[in-house]
Amino acid sequence: MRRSFPAVLVALGGLTGCGPGAPARPATTPGAQAATKPVATARSEVGVTAAVARVEVGQAAAPPRPAEVPRAAGAEPPASVDESTPARPACPGEMTLLPGGVCIDRWEGSLVQVDERGRERPWSPFLTVKQSRQPLRAVSVPNVVPQGYISGIQAERACKLAGKRLCTAPEWEKACRGPGGTLYPYGNARRAHTCNDDGRPVHPVSEATIRMKLPESRLWYENMEHPVINQLPNTLRRTGELGECTNDFGVFDMVGNLHEWIADADGTFRGGFYMDTRVNGEGCMYATTAHGKGYHDYSTGFRCCKDATTE
């Protein structure tokens, strides 16, 4: 079911501009079969009813039961057989299970706004999170525009409100590389048009600056927060729209579309975005460490993890 978001209406001019690409940021590069959600097998407990024996006239009474032999003092009682079903790790429906008992969101994160009565409504993915005066909770659903314009601190809070957390670097990388440990979710060789990482001729920040008549001197500053950027053609795609950008773990869009914040106190986002999955590492190894955890722009998104429960 497609989720709708409050419309962000921005008047777009017909002018198409060009400008320099975003300067490369300094970075360091830190060095995954879909696990179907385990279904707990419910074991039927069969109640045993003790039958009361009746002795009919003309029938012999049942022979007496042999007397129990007392255990020697200090002897251990006979070992009982545990017939219970072993506990299995389980994840919520929107998450998938990774080896090691960790759940990760299948789709990049979206947000819902929670009011003082606990009622929720979708939050526009084209607005910066700092514009909300109410708490925002993380959700992971297919076929919606994922949330950009979010900092690592804000993403951490949104995951926490959902009972989750940001993924650690090893968790995120394992999910991205799949069971085979490949460089991209789908394999070791890059395939064009498989994930949303093919770029576009004109950088979206440059185009938005020209279309909206923004100060060119602020191109790589507050202009990068403008809501029109991810609404331009050939920019952000809906979650899971590119069905081959996945692996046997059943996670989507871990390369391209949006950068994804991970649990790093100093600030790191992974996987690249729709304009680049190479500058700061290739595919699943992409990692940007040039910004603090409070940084955000149109390209920064997230997804959540949590420890699996047992059932």
Digit-coded pLDDT (tens) for 202-244 = 999 999 999 999 999 999 999 999 999 999 999 999 999 999 9
Proportion of the chain in helix, strand, coil states, percent, rounded to 5: 15, 15, 70
Name the class of domain 89-199+234-310.
alpha beta
Taking residues 40-68, what's their average pLDDT?
37
Residue 23 carries which side chain, given as an amino acid letter?
P
Q: What is the pLDDT of residue 265?
A: 95
What would the mean pLDDT of 287-311 be, rounded to a whole number? 95
Lowest mean pLDDT among 13-22, 249-258, 287-296: 13-22
Q: What is the pLDDT of residue 308?
A: 95
Residue ranges in the chain assigned as alpha helix (H)? 152-161, 169-177, 204-211
More confident residue, 240 or 33: 240
**What's residue 84's pLDDT?**
63
Residue 226 CA to residue 128 CA, distance in Å, equals 9
- DSSP state for residue 31 in the 8-state scheme: -
Is the CB of residue 249 less than 8 Å from the CB of residue 36? no
Task: Give the list of residues 6+ apart from residue 100 with CB closer than 8 angstroms, or none.
Answer: 174
The proportion of the chain whose per-residue pLDDT surpasses 90, expressed as a percent, equals 71
Which of the residue ranges 6-10, 120-124, 254-258 would you say has the lowest mean pLDDT? 6-10
Instruction: Work out the pLDDT band at 40, boundaries 50, 70, 90.
Output: very low
Count of CB atoms situated within 10 Å of the CB of 203: 19
Q: Is the pLDDT of residue 307 over 70?
A: yes
Query: In whole numbers, what is the pLDDT of the chain averaged over residues?
Result: 81
CA distance 14 to 3: 29
* Angle, CA 86 vertex, CA 32 and CA 82 arms, to 5°: 155
pTM exceeds 0.85: no
Which amino acid does the sequence have at 54? Answer: R
pLDDT at 221: 95
How many CB atoms neighbour CB 154 within 10 A? 24
Residue 101's pLDDT is 95
